[in-house]
Amino acid sequence: MGRAPEGAFTPYLLDRDPGTVRHDGPIRFPGSCFYKGVVVSDLKHSITLEPGDVFGILVAGRVAKCSVNHVTVANDAPKPPKVNQCNVVWGNEPLTPDTNQTICQVGCLAISLFSQAVLWGCPYDLRTFLKVLYNAGAFSRAYLVDAQAAADAIDVLRWDPVMYGGFPHNPRKDWTVLPAPAEFLSDVLSRQPVIVQLDYDPSDRDIDSHFVLAYRYVPPTLPGDVDDDLLIMDPMGGVYRRASHYFNPDWLRDGSMPDGVTQVERIVTGARIWTRASGT
């Protein structure tokens, strides 16, 4: 691989239809494949174009085949805002009046929901948001347990217990035993962010529950590979990262990740899916 030389190239895919599949290959053409500023003679894997990326055919002196199995255009919808549950302004405050546990300690689900609601136009600051949820009865001490009450209290949120309450219809579906449905999550993420649950400390066998806000599914590099991923807003630090930050490579060897189970299916242990209320 080398840097793209100066000169003209024939653009192959430069339009922007967020979330649409442009080709299910293979696609073969003469020349060299130009992808993200790098020349590659054979590009056999799936690629996702981010806004601003360029994918085309370089006019080169030699002939090579560039085979692309699957090309998608990434959804360039706005990312959910970064919100740090341990922010010095509020991190040490109790999550609710009924507990001494702080926002920093146990606020990941509420913070993820706050980020999602703000993305969809909720006008509240964090303290007001938490107060509204508390007054609506969405909390039990330090835990956000009533999804419907939260949706009733926040105008931009909707909770559909039949469609999105669980998988298939259980709001507390346990994915610590069965693999998470990556295909289902990918489908929902093509339309909206999803709050997913994972193990904050994957180095040991117990599950340290942590919620993050996923906003994009990243498919495996090659067909049959297991390295799919999620792009997330992680309230622990208030940063954008990949869900694979919480992946333990030992899972590939200790029998807890059977053949065919992908990273996302192993990492994600649950989800809470609020949708955007109509008219907001």
Q: What is the DSSP letter of 102?
A: B
Among 30-34, 35-39, 72-76, 243-247, the range of highest mean pLDDT: 243-247
Q: Name the CATH topology of 103-276.
A: Cathepsin B; Chain A (3.90.70)
pTM of the model: 0.74
16-51 pLDDT, tens per residue?
A: 333 333 333 344 444 555 555 555 555 555 566 655
The average confidence (pLDDT) of the chain is 77
Q: What is the pLDDT of residue 77?
A: 67
Give the pLDDT of residue 4: 35
Burial class (CB in 10 A: 0-12, 13-18, 19+), 223: exposed
Instruction: Specify the range with the lowest mean pLDDT, choosing from 50-64, 110-124, 229-243.
Output: 50-64
Question: Would you place residue 58 in the very low, low, confident or very high pLDDT band (cuts 50, 70, 90)?
Answer: very low
Within 139-209, where are the H helices? 147-153, 182-189
Domain ranges of the chain: 2-73, 103-276
pLDDT of amino acid 236: 97
